[in-house]
Structure 1
């Protein structure tokens, strides 16, 4: 699995402000709707439901919200870079500014887990995250993400 398979160039955004975690979930859902045709209201509901099971802030300013949804045909991602980090109830209690959300079909099984592992492994690299934080242009972010994953996979 590669980032190029997960991340549509229209699903990358730099957001100057998000007032709260809930507002960010709405931004993620709106982006998923415009990039993939996923219902924004169903996406928000699924993301918040998953978040209620335990926060998806994995530490070092990174969050990996994810949800399974009916009507999604393949695992897809949304990437948001925040100019100003927000509280996300992350495991290290640090605010979050790098967010990669995944949406998977209800029956995705192992594909969902493979995608989550790829994103988690890639965003655990602090120098990679620093490169993302230094480049707030959406097309540049998309290129960095998709090329870095190709290099790592080689």
Structure 2
């Protein structure tokens, strides 16, 4: 499976870029899945619902299914967080998996950058970052795209992964 990441500091525009890339790349006829890393505790379930009650009772996995979709929730129960490689192996085959976060993993990435955040660029210290998408002009040793030029960024990523 081909994978490509979008990384950057908080409020750099990662999620907006991911959303636009998924729309653009699927519009071009490719199948896309996404992986999002969260640095905080999150819950996709709702207290009081049956599936939440199953998890609270101690179930390791709860699969919730309907005619429209299914969701598999897996409780780690103090086990180590699975690696990105393990998580990718759980996905159905697609043309491209876009990964938001996992900036320390070794897959190729594009960095989202907004000048107003005053955060330093990650790219100069990380060779897995193949390009930067920024809201301000930058001079780097790799391609720099306007953060809002989704078409050009999609072209770059698709060329990088051979699609």
TM-score, length-scaled by structure 1: 0.28
Higher relative contact order (CA 8 A, sep 6+): 2
Between structure 1 and structure 2, the one with the greater Rg is 2
Normalization by structure 2: what TM-score?
0.27
